[in-house]
Amino acid sequence: MGMGRMEMELDYAEDATERRRVLEVEKEDTEELRQKYKDYVDKEKAIAKALEDLRANFYCELCDKQYQKHQEFDNHINSYDHAHKQEGTQDYYESEMIEIERS
Ligand SMILES: [Zn+2]
């Protein structure tokens, strides 16, 4: 007695819950996607930054030379060219200092 109506109400309640769940899933999906995108962007930025750091590490400011490999950079740092340039720069700075002292 009255069971039919009860069932209908339960069905309705279930429908509403189902609908709400779908909405929540959609919301979660969007947030998850947004987070995933953010993670992706962060990762890309981190990679770009790491590459930049790596490049900076293999860049000789003194000689304005960029090296892609640590070995090449190492070779350059120990090379005559680099040492000579460094010496030249030091001489330049020293003479500049003398000039300043004299004036
Ligand atoms: Zn150099």
Ligand 1 is an ion; residues with CB less than 5 A from it: 60, 62-63, 82
β strands within the chain, DSSP E: 59-60, 65-66
Confidence of residue 80 (pLDDT cuts 50, 70, 90): very high
Question: What pLDDT, in 10s, does the model give residues 28-75?
Answer: 788 888 999 999 999 999 999 888 887 778 899 899 999 988 899 999
* 35: phi then psi, degrees, rounded to nearest 5: -65, -40
Ligand 1: distance of its center to the CA of 84 in Å? 9
Ligand 1: distance of its center to the CA of 91 in Å? 16
Confidence of residue 95 (pLDDT cuts 50, 70, 90): low
Task: Using a cut of 0.85, tell me whether the model's pTM lies above it.
Answer: no
> Which residues are bridge partners to 59 per DSSP?
66
Residues for the chain: how many in total? Answer: 103
What amino acid is encoded at 32 in this protein?
E
Confidence of residue 91 (pLDDT cuts 50, 70, 90): low
Please state, in angstroms and rounded to a whole number, the distance separating the CA atoms of residues 94 and 98.
6
Ligand 1: distance of its center to the CA of 21 in Å? 63
- Domain map (residue ranges) of the chain: 1-57, 59-103
Ligand 1: distance of its center to the CA of 72 in Å? 11
Ligand 1: distance of its center to the CA of 33 in Å? 46
